[in-house]
Amino acid sequence: MTTPAGTTTGPLAQDEIVVVGAGVIGLTTALILARRGYRVHVVAKNLPEDELDQDWSSPWAGANWCPFSAEERVCRWETESLARLRELIPMGLAMPLPVLRYAATDSGLHNHWYKDVAKNYRRLRPDECPNGGVGVSFESLSVNAPVYLKWIEAQCRALGVTIVRGDVAALSDVVKPMTRVVVNATGLGSLTLTDVLDTAVEPIRGQIVLVRAPKVKRCVMDSSRSDVDPTRSTYIIPRPNSGGVTICGGCYEVGSWERKADSKLSRKILEECLVHVPELSSDGTVEGMDVIRECVGFRPSRAGGPRLEREDRAVRGRRVAIVHAYGIGPAGFQASWGMAKEAADLVSDAVLESAALKARL
């Protein structure tokens, strides 16, 4: 059975797709595959219950929709994902958010490619922008990353996806006699998987401070000083269904693995966020902010851009397709549905080819 797009949708009696990784990319891919009728098994070192583990990225995300790239395929993924994430608003899983976004130049706004995708997009006047930069306002949304991950996991399980904890040394280790395709959604794990060893994979360190501030109902993203210090970016993202938690960020330190939060940086982050959103504090001072905790997470980036491609390998004398889906860096949630759909399409193509090959034998 095929969809109009030419992908297989029929259930497979025995063949199994193994997804390695249970971050937003792995789980969303697993869910799409399960909805297409595949038998899906997920194995991952970290599962959605590991909310405070720094070994993976997904629970630390803002997680709002605000493009960081003008790369054509990423724009496509983000456009698709915004439509899917909007569908979660009535369920309370996503929250609509007005956004003010500032940058040093138009290239920092990624040349406005999303002006017709985001609602109510407007260029700001020079007098509305800080530091002599440029800016836009638009309607976006945020999701509560830890809650959302648990929701996708539950959707997967309801469709029969099996999800287990496991530390995988090599992708070939998960190939069992019934495995037709392996999806590699390991994020930074692709640096150390012994049959991937992708040295282009690198962390982008992000330090954030969680503040209880129920009055904050807007998002601000300010990278207007990035020409002076590219590691800095100030952002304020309220989290839906969180009892008023707002994420104050942040930094963007490419290649840094420093796990410990720097308290001086946290203070600076809070001061800068307060300038944009005074409602973060009861009295307009940092001391008047109800700080929950400071944290550090690592965005799973990749020099040269994310890897989404199929690689066919011989594993124990059998041809197995590996679909790589990692390296999305700062945009995993906002690109999740689009990237996962294309990963799922690569899986479907591989299954279809393999079935055609078998039929010819």
Ligand X SMILES: Cc1cc2nc3c(=O)[nH]c(=O)nc-3n(C[C@H](O)[C@H](O)[C@H](O)COP(=O)(O)OP(=O)(O)OC[C@H]3O[C@@H](n4cnc5c(N)ncnc54)[C@H](O)[C@@H]3O)c2cc1C
**In the complex with ligand X, which residue's Cβ is closer, 168 or 216?**
168
How far apart CA 207 and CA 94 sit, in angstroms, is: 23
**In the complex with ligand X, which residue's Cβ is closer, 135 or 332?**
332
Which residue, 257, 240, 303, 280, is CA-closest to 96?
240
Helix axes 336-360, 72-86, angle to 10 degrees: 110
Name the residue type at position 157. Answer: R
Least distance between ligand X and beta carbon 193 (Å) = 5
Rg (CA), the chain: 21
Angstrom CA distances, 97 to 77, 80, 141, 219, 234, stand at: 20, 18, 5, 6, 17
Binding-site sequence positions for FAD: 168, 186
Structure tokens at 25: 């990319």
Binding-site sequence positions for D-dopa: 235, 299
Helix (H, G, I), strand (E, B) or coil at 151: helix
Least distance between ligand X and beta carbon 332 (Å) = 2
**In the complex with ligand X, which residue's Cβ is closer, 8 or 330?**
330
Least distance between ligand X and beta carbon 356 (Å) = 31
Least distance between ligand X and beta carbon 324 (Å) = 11
Binding-site sequence positions: 168, 186, 235, 299
Least distance between ligand X and beta carbon 132 (Å) = 26
How far apart CA 186 and CA 20 sit, in angstroms, is: 6
How far apart CA 192 and CA 311 sit, in angstroms, is: 18
Least distance between ligand X and beta carbon 70 (Å) = 16
Which residue, 109, 107, 161, is CA-closest to 135?
109
Evaluate whether 141 touches 85 at the Cβ level (below 8 Å).
yes
**In the complex with ligand X, which residue's Cβ is closer, 49 or 106?**
49
Report the interface residues with ligand X, using CB under 6 A.
20-26, 44-46, 56-58, 60-64, 166-168, 185-187, 189, 193, 206, 208, 250, 297-300, 326, 328-334
Least distance between ligand X and beta carbon 147 (Å) = 14
Phi, psi of 8 (to 5 degrees): -70, 135
How far apart CA 342 and CA 144 sit, in angstroms, is: 24
How far apart CA 179 and CA 15 sit, in angstroms, is: 6
**In the complex with ligand X, which residue's Cβ is closer, 62 or 135?**
62
**In the complex with ligand X, which residue's Cβ is closer, 200 or 357?**
200
- Burial (Cβ within 10 Å: 0-12, 13-18, ≥19) of residue 116: exposed
**In the complex with ligand X, which residue's Cβ is closer, 100 or 168?**
168
